[in-house]
A and B are shown apart, each in its own frame.
Chain A
Amino acid sequence: MIWWLELALFGLLVVTALIALSVRDMIAAVATLSVYSFLAAVLLALMGAVDVALTEAALGAGVTGVLLIGAISVVERRTPD
């Protein structure tokens, strides 16, 4: 396997997770979380679990983002902490 590609993807995964935790704007956090899910899907596909990668790309990067934005439109957009 291309080890440096996996290493770079893992690094980006950690960076996007930290950004999603630390950002104040909830919409930006959801967008970063979608990027996180997509990177996780690419990693799963590289490891050979194409089945899980399909689910992660469709549910994690697509549907969950839409549902979270729907939940944000009910509550406040900016969080104090």
Chain B
Amino acid sequence: MNERYDSVILHFIARVFLVPLIIVFGIYVLLHGELSPGGGFQAGAIVAAALLLVRLTLGNRQGALRIPQGLLIWLACIGLGVYMFGGILPLILGDNFLDYARIPVEWYNQFAGEPRTARSMGIFIIEVGVFFGVVAVLVLIYDLLAGSSRQ
């Protein structure tokens, strides 16, 4: 699994068809997570599967050039930061931790098609944080496991 497997069909299917489709479906699951089944964790798992497909078809070394390991660590930290932002913003506004009742949503409702309530906005911020964390950590686990098999 460390070397690139040269097959035109495999690379065409993976690069043109599967990976963009899976990533678009994952982002759809993330954005509709409050109204329909889905959410941050499910979307993160789906997108992480797409990134693992890139690493499997291109081989570890070439695939890691597309999404390098340092970027993944930053992404996991950004996900945690977004989650903490969604938790601490109500504290600044005078509510409890993770209590979204007074999160400002007027700036969003001005240009959005359908208005959002403050609580749905807060849950969406949390879901985005979970999404980035799950994507980065799942791919990082694979990277560390495959890196240990190279030595």
Contact = CB atoms under 8 A, between A and B. Distances in A.
B45 interface: yes
Interface string B23-65: 0000001000000011101100110110010001000000000
Interface stretch (B8-16, B105-113, B115-123, B142-150): B142-150
A69 B64 CA distance: 18
A78 to B, nearest CB: 17
Contacts, number: 48
B145 A71 contact: yes
A59 B29 CA distance: 15
Contacts of A73: 1, 146, 149
Contacts of B41: 55
Interface residues of B, number: 20
Nearest to A59: B45
Nearest to A51: B37
Contacts of A62: 45, 49, 52
A70 to B, nearest CB: 4
Contacts of B38: 51, 54
Nearest to B145: A70
Q: How large is the interface on A (under 10, 10 to 19, 20 to 34, 35 or more residues)?
A: 10 to 19
Contact of A51 (B1, B39, B149): B39
Contacts of B138: 63
Most chain B Cβ neighbours within 10 Å, of A50, A55, A59, A66? A66
A58 B52 contact: no
Nearest to A45: B37
Which 6 A-B pairs give the minimum distances between C-beta atoms? A50-B37, A58-B45, A62-B49, A70-B145, A54-B42, A51-B37
21 contacts: A50-B37, A54-B45, A55-B42, A55-B45, A58-B45, A62-B49, A62-B52, A63-B52, A63-B138, A63-B142, A66-B52, A66-B56, A66-B142, A67-B142, A67-B145, A70-B145, A71-B145, A73-B146, A73-B149, A74-B145, A74-B149
Interface of B: 1, 29, 37-39, 41-42, 45-46, 48-49, 52, 56, 138, 141-142, 145-146, 148-149
Interface of A: 50-51, 54-55, 58-59, 62-63, 66-67, 69-71, 73-74
